[in-house]
Amino acid sequence: MPVSDSALSMELTTPTGAALLANLARVVTLFPAMTPLRTGYGAGAGDHGSSCRILRVVEGEIDDLTEERIVLLETNLDDVDGETIGYTRERLFSAGAVDVFITSAQGKKNRPVNVLSVITTREDYLPLVRLLMDETGTLGVRIREEPRLVADRVNEKIRVLVRNQPFTVRIKISRSLGKVIAVKPEYEDLKQIARELGIPLRHVAREVYQQLPFEYMR
């Protein structure tokens, strides 16, 4: 659970309050963009000068596009072999990175470099920085926090036939303004079917896309 400092020389929560927040909330983050529906206030009896002991609870509807905060880690690698970079990428994903990508660039003394970028959260970025340094030997990692807007996404399961054999495939459905903007079958499910049937992955993907429910394709 992230914390921040304050100019007030007093505690702004109790151990019980912090424990409730840490255990009952799925995500502890900044106030999200939403349409407020109901608001409730509660006030404490203590007198702390210019500050007020007030608790506010807001119930609202979050828009299809939700703003969230991410942390972007970057480091330039000019003396690390491809196998090490690939292994580091695998370890970063296993350690909880949201995404990992590599960009070719030109560094000092005209040397070709690989820029290794990692998208993660404020809660998870420090262990990933240590992992990056341990695996690649890099001496520094750039860190910056950025906002991003993400579409409303839900995961569902559908039954499909591939080469006349039944399978269950997970699909991710993204919506904006109430409309479906993207539908994508889970890659791991397609890969498993391709291996089980011994056919190319692209053939599996084509058959699955042809069986997506009509309402997802409008």
Question: Is residue 8 included in any domain, yes or no?
Answer: no
Helix or strand run (H / E) with residue 43: strand 34-43
How far is residue 132's CA from residue 91's CA, in Å, rounded to a whole number?
A: 9
For residues 24 and 52, membership in a common domain is answered with: yes
Per-residue confidence band for 217, with pLDDT thresholds at 50, 70 and 90: low
Averaged pLDDT, 137-163: 89
HSE at residue 7, side-chain half, CA atoms within 13 A, is: 2
CA distances to 37, 146, 215 from 208, rounded to whole Å, are 40, 36, 15
Domain closes at, from 121, 140, 159 = 140
Q: CB of 68 within 8 A of CB of 152? A: no
Question: Is residue 98 included in any domain, yes or no?
Answer: yes
Question: Is residue 55 included in any domain, yes or no?
Answer: yes
Question: What are the helix and strand counts (H, E) for the chain?
Answer: 5, 8
For residues 164 and 115, membership in a common domain is answered with: no
Question: Is residue 145 included in any domain, yes or no?
Answer: no
CATH number at residue 162: 3.10.20.300
- pLDDT tens column, 164-197: 999 999 999 887 777 788 889 999 999 999 999 9
Number of domains in the chain: 3
Instruction: Print the domain residue range for 210.
Output: 151-216
For residues 103 and 55, membership in a common domain is answered with: no
Question: Is residue 163 included in any domain, yes or no?
Answer: yes
Residue type for position 107:
G
HSE at residue 161, side-chain half, CA atoms within 13 A, is: 3
For residues 135 and 157, membership in a common domain is answered with: no
For residues 47 and 73, membership in a common domain is answered with: no
For residues 121 and 168, membership in a common domain is answered with: no
Query: What is the pTM assigned to this prediction?
Result: 0.60
How far is residue 194's CA from residue 208's CA, in Å, rounded to a whole number?
A: 12
- pLDDT tens column, 12-48: 778 888 888 788 776 666 666 677 889 999 887 766 6
Note the maximum CA span of the chain.
74
Q: Using the 8-state DSSP alphabet, how is residue 109 labeled?
A: G
Domain closes at, from 140, 162, 195 = 140
Within a 10 A sphere around the Cβ of 92, how many other Cβ atoms?
A: 22
